[in-house]
Structure 1
Amino acid sequence: MASSGVMRRLVWCLGFSQFICWGISYYMLGAFGEAMVRDLGWARMLVHGGFALALLVMGGVSGIAGRWVDQRGGRTVMVAGSLLLAGGCLGLALGQGVAAYYLAWAVVGLAMRLTLYDAAFATLAHVAGQGARRPMAQITLLGGLASTAFWPLGHALAESLGWRGALLVYAALALLTVPLHLAIPRGAGAAESAADPLAPTAPPPLAGAGRDRVWAAALFAAVTTLVNFLNAGMSAHMVGMLAGLGLALPLAVGIASLRGVGQSGARLVEVLFGARLHPLGLGAFAALLLPLACLAGVWAGQVLAMALVFALVYGAGNGLLTITRGTLPLVLFDHRTYGAFVGRLVAPGFLLSACAPVVYAAVMDAYGAGAAIWLSVAVAVLVFAASLALQWRFGQRAKWAP
């Protein structure tokens, strides 16, 4: 296990890298999408299809990427992801034509899988074992503010430099994450973890072999898949939904940006006060927040307070579920094979999330923003049901050593 000084340094470095990498990849199209549509003269679906392709690539390489972290260590994998992210941004900035555009997005998709939370969580699982819960939560504090910071930053850069010039700045920011990822200890992979047995106070995984392992894997995958679908839909259309419900567009943008505040605020509370909460219980509570938030969104157009509740409470629930996505496998499965096993389980979430922006757009076009909110309520209820089933099946045997 790494020393406390090494872990503190690693948490700061990964926290800043997540802040940058999320901002210049996952939230890129939110900043530049409309400018790309105007400048390229392409249909909106064609422009946004690049991001859908990136999400499909993330899902397709998820299992392989997890094995890379297990076998080669997070340092090598995440540095490679930084370089690929810089290359993808350069490709988008300099490329001409649809083929070059989609190729660049495919590179960005691979880079996202090698740099974002799942790679960082797997790295921390190998470095800290079952003591990785707190570091996982800590690195998400800055990552949760990525949209709040990079949407206005991206708009400002696009207005002054054009979207292609802004992407050159993004490529430079991607290169700045290389030294941050070089802070990861060498060999923080399966070989190191296998040689370092669990501490005596660390509880064994709740799901061993046989039926328990299947149920744990299925329910964890269901929660992750549904949360990813809902998050992708909200990331693409929350502003449009609020505007469609009757809010003025500037007000809709301002309220939607509060989602990031809700995410990081809830994560900060968890870091400060949630050490003794078991990840299963925390996950069920976080999942309950999602349908409550979406139900508030039904009345967001009539009552401004409900719009604020919608954005803040949804952000809080999504922020906490991001933490439990990293920490639940520590108590359900063997942390020494964290990368490969969890990589296979989260792959469907990436694949389904690629469909979410299109599904939400179709629902809004056909039935309006209100129908999209009710779709969100339905998905959120399923998230809560799966989380509750996970808590019910394994919570009675749960012992947690914070």
Structure 2
Amino acid sequence: MTTTTTTTPILPRTVLCMGVSLLVSWGVSYYLIGVFGDRMAEDLGWSLPLVHGGFTAALLAMGAVSGAAGRLIDRHGGRGVMMAGAVLTAAGCCGLALSHGLVAYYASWICLGVAMRLTLYDAAFATLAGLGGPSAKAAMAQVTLFGGLSSTVFWPFGDALADRLGWRGALFVYAGLSLATVLLHFAVPAGRARPPAGAVAHAPPLAGTPRDRALAGGLYALAFALAHFLSSAMSAHVIGLLTGLGIAASAAVWIGMFRGIGQVAGRLGQVVLGGRVHPIDLNLAAASLLPLSFALALAGGNAVLAATAFVFLYGAGHGVLAITQGTLPLVLFDHRTYGAVVGRLLVPSFVVSAAAPLVFAVVIERFGETVAIALSLLLAGLALASALLLALHFRRLRT
């Protein structure tokens, strides 16, 4: 016989403080290389691949500690874990600022990789799941709005800092900002929620049998590994793909901005819709936008309107998938083991994210941009197939 579980409501100030901390944490860690990579290479006298290899090492470190980070949050709650991550982010930024050799440079990036796993969406989602259970879906969507603005805020801010202080001085400022987020994390309740009388009751998870859990876990891991691979590849190569299709370089940069606009638009739509769309249906809708966007890129050639639609739709799909990555496990699995389950299932995502820019660089160099986009269409189609199978299998359980 199945039973319901209860959880406490998530306060608005918790969402606000966590959202601001995510905006800062994404900006001073994940988006760091995009602002300072060229300056680092010039100052250190290293090649760009060597400099960007540090970020690859960070992504691999995220994967290596993912399961342990999730288990920690399940056991002790997210406040202390995210605070520790903020301190490690500051240490990694200071380490990079003081680096003059490869060992120190790569060690600093590995420190940042561990820190990112403790401070970014995956840690925040696990923390919210421990506090609110399935009712945390709205809070998860809301905090992603802040994270989605991070590159918009920190790319120009970091560039301006580096112009004034140099990239090393800018990184010390980043370290200070990361330490400041420790104060924001005090808004997160300590430990795990203990539901009082009158707390909200929730239905049991959809994947209630070992077979269903294995199927749900496999499809979830596959879909988001493919989505992360595409996201990492697009982050590194979208401008090059557009120019390879015949779009002028100046127009390609302008069009590339529509990825962020689409991302925020998709997330705003989810916040407005609230709980009216089931996470499985929302995930299917978001996944369907990815192959549609790449098909438009292939069909549109060098047409600016088609290229703009491609980037916007891709951004919207990716933006909503960032939400369903957090909300799907709330309805599929037991929220009390959310951190451990999701931490294990996301390990492939971190690994393929690290490899994606290099893989796409090789494909573009050997076969051209059109083949790279066709490959993206194929991978996006596989992600959509995974989302569709998930929706079809669990539809009968939902009814």
TM-score tier (shorter): over 0.9
Q: Which moved more, 1:245-254 or 1:95-104?
A: 245-254
Is the Cα–Cα contact under 8 Å of residues 8 and 131 in structure 2 kept in the other structure? no
SS at match of 1:275: helix
Q: Give the Cα separation in 1 of the matches to 2:87 and 2:78.
A: 14
Question: How many residue pairs align between the two structures?
Answer: 394
Q: C-alpha offsets along residues 124-164 of structure 1, whole Å, 9 cap, x if unaligned? A: 00111110000000000111121222222222322332222
SS at match of 1:96: coil
Q: Could you tell me which residue of structure 2 aligns to residue 307 of structure 1?
A: 307
In structure 2, runs of 5+ residues without a counterpart are 1-5
Q: What's the TM-score, normalizing by structure 2?
A: 0.94
Q: Give the Cα separation in 2 of the matches to 1:156 and 1:253.
A: 19
Q: Offset of 1:300 from its aligned partner?
A: 5.9
Match of 1:81 among 85, 89, 92: 85
Q: Could you tell me which residue of structure 2 aligns to residue 267 of structure 1?
A: 267
Q: Give the Cα separation in 1 of the matches to 2:355 and 2:366.
A: 17
Is the Cα–Cα contact under 8 Å of residues 299 and 307 in structure 1 kept in the other structure? no
Q: Give the Cα separation in 1 of the matches to 2:358 and 2:49.
A: 8
Q: Give the Cα separation in 2 of the matches to 1:30 and 1:300.
A: 28
Q: How does 1:212-361 map to 2 (within 5 A)?
A: 212-298=212-298, 302-361=302-361
Match of 2:118 among 109, 114, 132: 114
Q: Could you tell me which residue of structure 1 aligns to residue 147 of structure 2?
A: 143
Q: Which moved more, 1:6-15 or 1:32-41?
A: 32-41
Q: Give the Cα separation in 2 of the matches to 1:77 and 1:197.
A: 29
Q: Give the Cα separation in 2 of the matches to 1:58 and 1:360.
A: 21
Q: Which moved more, 1:321-330 or 1:369-378?
A: 369-378
Match of 1:182 among 186, 198, 213: 186
SS at match of 1:188: coil
Q: C-alpha offsets along residues 181-207 of structure 1, whole Å, 9 cap, x if unaligned? A: 121101136xx47x999844x221110
Q: Could you tell me which residue of structure 2 aligns to residue 376 of structure 1?
A: 376
SS at match of 2:275: coil
Q: Could you tell me which residue of structure 2 aligns to residue 157 of structure 1?
A: 161
RMSD: 1.9
Q: Offset of 1:246 from its aligned partner?
A: 2.9
Would the alpha carbon gap of residues 216 and 365 (structure 1) be closer, same or farther in structure 2, given more than 3 Å must change?
same
Q: Offset of 1:103 from its aligned partner?
A: 0.3
Q: Give the Cα separation in 1 of the matches to 2:322 and 2:197.
A: 27
Q: Offset of 1:370 from its aligned partner?
A: 2.1
SS at match of 2:204: coil
Corresponding letter in the other structure for 2:163: E
Q: Could you tell me which residue of structure 2 aligns to residue 27 of structure 1?
A: 31
Q: Give the Cα separation in 2 of the matches to 1:243 and 1:302.
A: 8
Is the Cα–Cα contact under 8 Å of residues 278 and 398 in structure 1 kept in the other structure? no
Is the Cα–Cα contact under 8 Å of residues 144 and 261 in structure 1 kept in the other structure? no
Match of 2:104 among 100, 104, 124: 100
Q: Give the Cα separation in 2 of the matches to 1:170 and 1:144.
A: 18
Q: Could you tell me which residue of structure 2 aligns to residue 37 of structure 1?
A: 41
Is the Cα–Cα contact under 8 Å of residues 247 and 303 in structure 2 kept in the other structure? no
Q: Give the Cα separation in 1 of the matches to 2:258 and 2:361.
A: 22
Is the Cα–Cα contact under 8 Å of residues 221 and 349 in structure 1 kept in the other structure? yes
Q: What's the TM-score, normalizing by structure 1?
A: 0.93
In structure 1, runs of 5+ residues without a counterpart are none
Among all aligned residue pairs of Structure 1 and Structure 2, give the percentage whose two residues are the same amino acid. 52
Q: Give the Cα separation in 2 of the matches to 1:160 and 1:295.
A: 43
Is the Cα–Cα contact under 8 Å of residues 44 and 100 in structure 2 kept in the other structure? no
Q: Give the Cα separation in 2 of the matches to 1:185 and 1:2.
A: 13
Corresponding letter in the other structure for 1:273: L
Q: Give the Cα separation in 1 of the matches to 2:162 and 2:208.
A: 51
Would the alpha carbon gap of residues 113 and 203 (structure 1) be closer, same or farther in structure 2, given more than 3 Å must change?
same
Q: Could you tell me which residue of structure 1 aligns to residue 3 of structure 2?
A: none
Q: Give the Cα separation in 1 of the matches to 2:17 and 2:372.
A: 38
Q: Give the Cα separation in 1 of the matches to 2:253 and 2:149.
A: 15
Q: Give the Cα separation in 2 of the matches to 1:196 and 1:225.
A: 40
Corresponding letter in the other structure for 1:137: A
Q: Give the Cα separation in 1 of the matches to 2:241 and 2:82.
A: 35
Q: Give the Cα separation in 1 of the matches to 2:39 and 2:218.
A: 41
SS at match of 1:254: helix
Q: Give the Cα separation in 1 of the matches to 2:36 and 2:256.
A: 17
Q: Give the Cα separation in 2 of the matches to 1:244 and 1:90.
A: 38
SS at match of 2:11: helix
Would the alpha carbon gap of residues 2 and 165 (structure 1) be closer, same or farther in structure 2, given more than 3 Å must change?
farther
Is the Cα–Cα contact under 8 Å of residues 145 and 261 in structure 1 kept in the other structure? no
Q: Could you tell me which residue of structure 2 aligns to residue 129 of structure 1?
A: 133
Corresponding letter in the other structure for 1:203: A
Q: Give the Cα separation in 2 of the matches to 1:54 and 1:397.
A: 39
Corresponding letter in the other structure for 2:92: G
